[in-house]
């Protein structure tokens, strides 16, 4: 059994579900712009309408209630509630209504402040995350949210996957602003997210908002497994973990960067920012006040030695769901991702590895000893409607194994507060369109009414929650 007050949840993000992209005073975000540039997303899909959660949230919350969900994690759209620095009351009203409806139905709201939809204006004016000016703007935005909702909302996630949107925006070039191979900018923008997280935690803790609430940030974590016991593969694993795991978690949850990685990036001439003693204090103080670590766990990766001469470099990933041969990728001289013969892969070539979740939870407990919110975990798949039903046994299997993996870590003493499946309803996948589905609730995106149909996984999760909370 899980703890009685365990938060069985599901998650979403504003741009991926809300729709209503330009109504009631909402201003454009960088994603409103990016998805309209030909060739940027799968078949040109965008979130203009998405699941139309903006208009259908009552129906969606009724489904959550029916399911017995304990928490719903969603993000606030910055450009819906702030318009050139002025509060947009209609935007605030939407979130008040959503939060009130959740609370009325005994569902704990869990808010993400930033799930990638930066106001376009800030990108255009000063490069968004590239400038430290973002700190002041973000704090003004966070303050509006805390002022409005702190008495109703206990769980706050400042940043969602800051490691992903900066890497994809400045190295792979597949997220806005679409720069390629700009390692220094990637590291700098990531650093700015850490500063923003830290300042926001301090605002929350010192601003009189801390009404028994908890605040953290969610990092996408993909733990590595060495391909063999050979010293070379083990060194490769250490390097991978330092650059792709600890680099992100240390600065958020300890307030410092890991040493070897810092030296490595510095030798490569990639560190184009300074950490003043004031920043240092802010980062450390915030790390000591952060209440939980949020993790989004989807997969692990097998790591092997990657020679400097003729080593493999960075590769683009699968966004069309046509399963293909594994393609190695990595950093020459450090490590590479190799095919794992012991696991299955999804149609999008994502590794299925529940044990990687237990491993991640253990590593985090060991390193930071903080409670953990699993803010995302789930399976993206092609679903078929057969006679009005969706038999997604593959999703049930995936979630069930990851819940067992979570339990295994809890049994070893890791404190896990919540498990949020990505996602509650089907929604837009940033780069993979509407065909990559994650929801418990199917949406027919071809039908203008966007009808909702409960999948088999919906009933399964409903039963599981009931059995755990009776
Ligand atoms: C995470 C994001 C989510 C969601 C999920 C699934 O990285 O935080 O917003 O999209 O991944 O990923 P995808 O849609 O690429 O399959």
Question: Can you tell me the distance from the alpha carbon of 255 to that of 53, in angstroms, rounded to the nearest whole number?
Answer: 37
Q: Are 90 and 25 in contact (CB under 8 A)?
A: yes
Report the atom number in ligand 1 closest to the C-alpha of 220. Answer: 7
Helices (H) and strands (E) in the chain, counts: 16, 18
End-to-end CA distance of the chain: 11
Strands (E), 199-355: 214-220, 224-226, 292-296, 301-304, 329-331, 335-338, 344-345, 351-352
Q: 377 CA distance to ligand 1 centroid (A)?
A: 9
- Helix 162-170 / helix 183-206 crossing angle, nearest 10 deg: 150
**Ligand 1: which atom is nearest the Cα of residue 430?**
14
- pTM over 0.85, yes/no: yes
| Residue whose CA is at the smallest distance from ligand 1 atom 14 | 429
Specify which residues 71 forms β-bridges with. Answer: 9, 108
Residue of 429, 431, 432, 437 to test ligand 1 pocket, by largest number of atoms within 8 Å of CB: 429
User: Does residue 161 have an active-site annotation?
Assistant: yes
**DSSP string across 122-177:** HHHHH-GGGSTHHHHHHHHHHHHHHHHHTTT--EEEEEE-HHHHHHHHHTS--STT
The Cα 221–Cα 377 span in angstroms is 11
Residue with the smallest CA separation from ligand 1 atom 12 is: 429
* 436 Cα nearest atom in ligand 1: 16
From ligand 1's centre to the CA of 294, what distance in Å?
15
Shortest-distance Cα residue to atom 6 of ligand 1: 429
- Ligand 1 centroid distance, CA of 124 (Å): 25
pLDDT by 10s per residue, the chain, length 470: 899 999 999 999 999 999 999 999 999 999 999 999 999 999 999 999 999 999 999 999 999 999 999 999 999 999 999 988 899 999 999 999 999 999 999 999 999 999 999 999 999 999 999 999 999 999 999 999 999 999 999 999 999 999 999 999 999 999 999 999 999 999 999 999 999 999 999 999 999 997 789 999 999 999 999 999 999 999 999 999 999 999 999 999 999 999 999 999 999 999 999 999 999 999 999 999 999 999 999 999 999 999 999 999 988 888 999 998 999 999 999 999 999 999 999 999 999 999 999 999 999 999 999 999 999 999 999 999 999 999 999 999 999 999 999 999 999 999 999 999 999 999 999 999 999 999 999 999 999 999 999 999 999 999 999 999 87
Q: Ligand 1 pocket by C-beta < 6 Å: which residues?
A: 13, 16, 160-161, 164, 220, 296, 376, 380, 422, 429-432, 436
């Amino acid at each position: 059994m899980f703890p009685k007050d365990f938060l069985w949840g599901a998650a979403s993000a504003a741009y991926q579900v809300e729709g209503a992209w330009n109504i009631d005073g909402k201003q454009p975000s960088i994603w409103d712009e990016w998805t309209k540039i030909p060739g940027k997303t799968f078949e040109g899909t965008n979130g203009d309408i998405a699941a139309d959660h903006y208009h259908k949230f009552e129906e969606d919350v009724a489904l959550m209630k029916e399911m017995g969900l304990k928490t719903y994690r969603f993000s606030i759209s910055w450009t819906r509630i702030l318009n050139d620095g002025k509060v947009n009351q209609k935007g605030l009203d939407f979130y008040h209504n959503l939060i009130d409806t959740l609370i009325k139905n005994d569902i704990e709201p869990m808010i993400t402040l930033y799930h990638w939809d930066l106001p376009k204006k800030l990108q255009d004016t000063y490069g968004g995350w590239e400038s430290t000016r973002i700190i002041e703007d973000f704090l003004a935005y966070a303050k509006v949210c805390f002022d409005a909702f702190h008495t109703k909302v206990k769980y706050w996630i400042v940043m969602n996957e800051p490691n992903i949107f900066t890497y994809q925006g400045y190295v792979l070039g597949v997220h806005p602003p679409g720069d390629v191979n700009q390692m220094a900018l990637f590291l700098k923008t990531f650093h700015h997210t850490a500063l923003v997280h830290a300042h926001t935690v301090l605002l929350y803790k010192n601003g009189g908002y801390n009404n028994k609430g908890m605040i953290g940030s969610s990092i996408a974590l993909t733990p590595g497994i060495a391909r063999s016991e050979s010293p070379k593969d083990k060194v490769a694993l250490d390097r991978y973990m330092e650059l792709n795991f600890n680099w992100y978690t240390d600065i958020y949850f300890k307030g410092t960067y890991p040493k070897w990685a810092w030296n490595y990036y510095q030798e490569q001439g990639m560190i184009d920012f300074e950490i003043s003693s004031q920043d240092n204090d802010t980062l450390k103080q915030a790390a000591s006040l952060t209440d939980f670590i949020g993790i989004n766990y989807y997969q692990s990766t097998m790591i092997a030695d990657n020679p400097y001469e003729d080593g493999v470099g960075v590769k683009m990933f699968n966004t069309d769901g046509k399963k293909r041969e594994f393609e190695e990728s990595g950093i020459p001289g450090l490590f590479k991702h190799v095919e794992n013969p012991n696991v299955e892969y999804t149609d999008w070539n994502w590794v299925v590895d529940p044990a990687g979740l237990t491993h991640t939870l253990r590593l985090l407990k060991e390193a930071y000893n903080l409670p953990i919110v699993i803010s995302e975990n789930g399976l993206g798949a092609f679903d078929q409607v057969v006679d009005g039903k969706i038999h997604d046994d593959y999703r049930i299997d995936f979630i069930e194994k990851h819940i067992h993996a979570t339990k295994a870590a809890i049994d070893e003493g890791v404190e896990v507060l919540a498990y949020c499946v990505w996602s509650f309803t089907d929604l837009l996948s940033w780069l993979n369109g509407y065909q990559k589905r994650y929801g418990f609730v199917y949406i027919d995106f071809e039908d203008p009414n966007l009808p909702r149909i409960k999948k088999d996984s919906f009933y399964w999760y409903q039963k599981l929650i009931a059995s755990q909370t009776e």
